[in-house]
Chain A
Amino acid sequence: MPDDLAMSPSPPRAGAARGGEENAVRRTRRLPRGSRRAKGLLYVLPALAVYVGFAIWPALSTLRLSFLEWDGILPPVWAAFENYVEIFQDPALYEAILHSLILIIFFSFVPVVIGLLMTALLLGRVRTGMTFFRVVFFLPQVLPLVAVGVTWRWLYAENGVINQFLEVIGLGGITRAWLGDYHLALVALGLIGTWTMSGLCMMLFLAGAQKIDTSLYEAAIIDGAGPFQQFRHVTLPGVRREITIAAVITTIAALASFDLVFVTTNGGPAGQTNVPALLVYRLAFNEGNIGSASALAVVLTVIVIGFVSAIRYFAREDR
């Protein structure tokens, strides 16, 4: 679910969970009576049933399917780890994973940098039009990625806007059908991700920056810090949490991207933009290779969880 994970704030960090414990300790005296705690189950159960039935159970089933060889119709055959072995032997499959790692640069790293730039520009002295810029920058994030893909597919076309622009600025020599270029298609795809994700990063950073104690800025000014130093020494440390969060959300979006690729290149040219999600879909529903599809989905999930944990870990160690 590239969309909603992209949009959804990250899970509370381990630190928050610890905070919760402290609260719990503080509140022990006021814990509701036992009967009330039991009745609480009635409130939680409906959500739990839907969540377990339609998310957790299928996720576990996918895990189970990853050990089978199954075409979706005939009886499945036990395959042990064969499907996993295949992922690391089939170039098409592991290259897809590599591609999604490259996309992290464009979906996550670059947008964080641009988001910081936008934040720096919008902070402080820009009063007029602040809301306008915020609303505009964030706009790409609310669109269905399918529509974004359709639009960009045309912008990137041989007679599209990008090439028109390049010709105007005298770079007519490098025009091409960008999404069909063997070496540049993945980059072109990644830049669409940059376009959609930068506003999200900005929105997070702005929210973080607005909570920074203004006295810190005043102190910095007294120390003779210019706008750049202020940003570097006050704002940047102030939005570190938000940077972590932005990195997590956008990394998940990069790794799990499907919609954009499906409507723009469908993995082409020559598999240069294959990503795991696309192959999961193709293997499962076009080629009837449910086992491999499931194994790839599991590997993708492990990578996602690995990255999310890594980002968290590094973000907290610096602290």
Chain B
Amino acid sequence: MRKTAPFRRPGALLALGTTAALALAACAGGSGGGETNQSDNDVSTTITDEPVTLTLSYTNEPPTEDLIDGFTEHHPNVTIDAQQTPFNDYVKSIKLAMSSDDPPDIAQYNPGAMNTLVPAGLILDLGPWAEAYGWSEKFPAASLEVLSSDESAQQFGTGNLYAAPGALSVLGVFYNTSILDDAGVDGAPATLEEFEEAMRQVQDSGTDPLSVGGLEVGGFHIWNALLNVLGDVEDYRAWVYGEDGATIENDGAAEATDTLIEWVDEGYIPSSANATADSDAQANFANGESAFLITGNWAAADLESEMGEDVGFFLMPTASGEPATVASGASVAYAISSKTEHPNVAAAFLDYLSSEEAAQIQFEGGFMPINTEAELGAEGVRAEIADSFATVVENDGIVPFPDFASPGMIDKLTPGVQGLISETMTRDEFLRSLQESWDEHHAG
């Protein structure tokens, strides 16, 4: 018995215990059957006129607040109380908040947290609403696939839908046009070799080629971008989604790791990278201290406002020079608590994310919009991003970031790449450490 009850309830809390038991029973009914019984009948695409207040927890800004404003403008009776948590605290915070007795109605999706929240039945299965609204038509297929998983959240890309995306992002390379000009580099490189050549030229001209936020996620973003173009996309997807027998100890990942090690040896990746936070790396790049920055398009809005026309974007080039068709991307997605009293209102918010109006908000926030047909009037660096992104989406080539693969993966990726940068870890040790975390998570 002791095994099933984490804590024995002190007698004085009996009253509270009873209420909690009732609540537990209610949500057990929801999770056990897969769908919430009570809302099955009233799935609706029209929402109440009564005043409703929803709470929403999120970490990415932009685009969250503007999307909320956009939605509530259409539904003045709805108030959404949004609460932002910094990213470095978000996984923990959202996990704790969603499993509490009074969870937020809507929460920004996070794979690390969903690994425990979905199996516990705390996240609403959006299947009925997806059907009612016809989301498969409104959202890009790959963007919904990532947000689907089986009920144990072990395998992704299959099973129930647990969130809907509110903005898309893609990993690529920003470059400083005037530094490239000064170094005699002729525009954005078309092949991986040209990219390396460009970094060499920049280095020779006395400027740092790359800014790398190795203290946080910037280091493994480089590895990830290389893996996108050097590895096999099906292998990678199988691994990230948690398919049986998948492994990261493959040739593509080895090549990507070797390339990163080479960049360290060549000094393209500075030794100070391990003490540099992502925001520091971005600031260094924006201040013209380096020629390239490998990060997601979420940085675009800031970089453009600071660098104006000096900034450009390309996807990590392939070895052959073919346009890249695979790129890691994530979405700022939102999930609904299975304890919410207003699932229809929350679902209406998710549906709004695919609207043309939302597309504009998403794009202005520096993201790629959900509604790929919306007229955006893009120019500058964001047009370059939109173009590269279009190629990838057409090829269904958006893949999740590697930290998606297991809850502890990010704590292997960051130190692992730090080990590569400080030349204290070998390629094989690095890949082994990732696979160990994967094995551990998928053992059960």
Chain A residues within CB distance 8 Å of chain B: 61, 65, 68, 70-78, 156-158, 176-182, 185, 265-271, 282, 285-289
Question: Quick check: A73 and B411 within 8 Å, CB to CB?
Answer: no
Give CA–CA (A271, B271) in the complex, Å: 16
Give CA–CA (A67, B267) in the complex, Å: 47
Question: Quick check: B112 and A286 within 8 Å, CB to CB?
Answer: yes
Known A179-B275, A286-B92; further 14 A-B contacts with Cβ < 8 A: A68-B6, A72-B116, A73-B95, A73-B117, A73-B122, A158-B272, A176-B271, A177-B276, A180-B274, A182-B422, A268-B415, A285-B92, A287-B407, A289-B408
Q: Which residue of B lies closest to A91 (CB)?
A: B433
Give CA–CA (A177, B418) in the complex, Å: 13
Chain B residues 1-56 with CB under 8 Å of chain A are 2-4, 6-7
- Residues in chain A near residue B122, CB distance under 8 A: 73
Distance in angstroms from B438 CB to nearest chain A CB is 13
Q: Which residue of B lies closest to A182 (CB)?
A: B422
B402-444 to A contact mask, C-beta < 8 Å, 1/0: 0000011001001110110111110000000000000000000
Centre residue among A75, A180, A285 by max chain B CB count within 10 A: A180
- Residues in chain A near residue B2, CB distance under 8 A: 78
With contacts A268-B215, A286-B91 taken as known, whether A73 is within 8 angstroms of B116 at the C-beta atoms is yes
- Residues in chain B near residue A77, CB distance under 8 A: 3
Interface footprint category on B: 35 or more
- Residues in chain A near residue B408, CB distance under 8 A: 286-287, 289
In the assembled complex, B390 has its CB within 8 A of some CB on chain A? no
Chain B residues 76-125 with CB under 8 Å of chain A are 88, 91-92, 95-96, 99, 112, 115-117, 119-120, 122
Q: List 11 A-B contacts (CB under 8 A).
A: A68-B3, A72-B116, A75-B4, A78-B3, A268-B215, A269-B215, A270-B424, A285-B91, A285-B92, A287-B411, A289-B408
Identify B275's interface contact among A68, A70, A156, CB under 8 A. Answer: A156
In the assembled complex, B273 has its CB within 8 A of some CB on chain A? yes
Question: Quick check: A265 and B422 within 8 Å, CB to CB?
Answer: no
Give CA–CA (A117, B186) in the complex, Å: 62
Q: Which residue of B lies closest to A159 (CB)?
A: B272
Give CA–CA (A74, B92) in the complex, Å: 16
Chain A interface main SS type: loop
In the assembled complex, B214 has its CB within 8 A of some CB on chain A? yes
Distance in angstroms from A153 CB to nearest chain B CB is 8
B391-407 to A contact mask, C-beta < 8 Å, 1/0: 00000000000000001
- Residues in chain B near residue A271, CB distance under 8 A: 415, 418-419
Give CA–CA (A267, B120) in the complex, Å: 30
- Residues in chain A near residue B421, CB distance under 8 A: 269
Centre residue among A74, A75, A287 by max chain B CB count within 10 A: A287
Question: Quick check: A158 and B415 within 8 Å, CB to CB?
Answer: no
Give CA–CA (A157, B408) in the complex, Å: 28
Shortest 10 CB-CB distances between A and B: which pairs?
A180-B275, A180-B274, A182-B422, A270-B419, A177-B275, A177-B272, A269-B274, A285-B92, A269-B418, A270-B418
Chain B residues within CB distance 8 Å of chain A: 2-4, 6-7, 88, 91-92, 95-96, 99, 112, 115-117, 119-120, 122, 214-216, 271-276, 407-408, 411, 414-416, 418-419, 421-425
Distance in angstroms from B260 CB to nearest chain A CB is 14
Distance in angstroms from B364 CB to nearest chain A CB is 32
Question: Quick check: B272 and A180 within 8 Å, CB to CB?
Answer: yes
Give CA–CA (A71, B424) in the complex, Å: 32
Question: Quick check: A270 and B95 within 8 Å, CB to CB?
Answer: no
- Residues in chain B near residue A267, CB distance under 8 A: 415
Identify B214's interface contact among A71, A75, A269, CB under 8 A. Answer: A269
Give CA–CA (A74, B2) in the complex, Å: 14
Identify B422's interface contact among A269, A286, A288, CB under 8 A. Answer: A269
With contacts A268-B215, A269-B421, A270-B425 taken as known, whether A71 is within 8 angstroms of B275 at the C-beta atoms is no
Distance in angstroms from B210 CB to nearest chain A CB is 15
- Residues in chain B near residue A282, CB distance under 8 A: 411
Give CA–CA (A76, B5) in the complex, Å: 8
- Residues in chain A near residue B271, CB distance under 8 A: 176-177, 180-181
Distance in angstroms from A189 CB to nearest chain B CB is 12
- Residues in chain B near residue A68, CB distance under 8 A: 3, 6
- Residues in chain A near residue B215, CB distance under 8 A: 180, 265-266, 268-269
Distance in angstroms from A16 CB to nearest chain B CB is 34
Give CA–CA (A267, B2) in the complex, Å: 35
Question: Quick check: B411 and A268 within 8 Å, CB to CB?
Answer: no
Identify A288's interface contact among B116, B276, B416, CB under 8 A. Answer: B116
Give CA–CA (A268, B407) in the complex, Å: 18
Give CA–CA (A269, B95) in the complex, Å: 27
- Residues in chain B near residue A185, CB distance under 8 A: 274-275
Distance in angstroms from B415 CB to nearest chain A CB is 4
Question: Quick check: A268 and B418 within 8 Å, CB to CB?
Answer: yes
Centre residue among B214, B418, B425 by max chain A CB count within 10 A: B418
Give CA–CA (A265, B88) in the complex, Å: 13
Distance in angstroms from B404 CB to nearest chain A CB is 14
- Residues in chain A near residue B418, CB distance under 8 A: 182, 268-271
Distance in angstroms from B161 CB to nearest chain A CB is 21
Distance in angstroms from B122 CB to nearest chain A CB is 7
Question: Quick check: A72 and B422 within 8 Å, CB to CB?
Answer: no
- Residues in chain A near residue B415, CB distance under 8 A: 267-271
Give CA–CA (A76, B4) in the complex, Å: 6
Centre residue among A68, A73, A78, A176 by max chain B CB count within 10 A: A73
Question: Quick check: B4 and A182 within 8 Å, CB to CB?
Answer: no
Question: Quick check: A73 and B99 within 8 Å, CB to CB?
Answer: yes
Give CA–CA (A131, B384) in the complex, Å: 64
Distance in angstroms from B269 CB to nearest chain A CB is 12
Q: Which residue of B lies closest to A153 (CB)?
A: B275
Q: Which residue of A lies closest to B96 (CB)?
A: A285
- Residues in chain A near residue B7, CB distance under 8 A: 61
Distance in angstroms from B428 CB to nearest chain A CB is 15
Question: Quick check: A286 and B275 within 8 Å, CB to CB?
Answer: no
Give CA–CA (A269, B115) in the complex, Å: 27
Give CA–CA (A289, B95) in the complex, Å: 13
- Residues in chain A near residue B119, CB distance under 8 A: 73-74
Give CA–CA (A68, B273) in the complex, Å: 39
- Residues in chain B near residue A156, CB distance under 8 A: 275
Question: Quick check: A268 and B274 within 8 Å, CB to CB?
Answer: yes
- Residues in chain A near residue B419, CB distance under 8 A: 182, 269-271
Give CA–CA (A268, B116) in the complex, Å: 26
Question: Quick check: A178 and B275 within 8 Å, CB to CB?
Answer: yes
Q: Which residue of A lies closest to B407 (CB)?
A: A287
Give CA–CA (A74, B91) in the complex, Å: 17
Distance in angstroms from A77 CB to nearest chain B CB is 6
With contacts A177-B272, A270-B415 taken as known, whether A70 is within 8 angstroms of B95 at the C-beta atoms is no
Give CA–CA (A158, B418) in the complex, Å: 17
- Residues in chain B near residue A178, CB distance under 8 A: 275
With contacts A268-B215, A269-B419 taken as known, whether A180 is within 8 angstroms of B276 at the C-beta atoms is yes
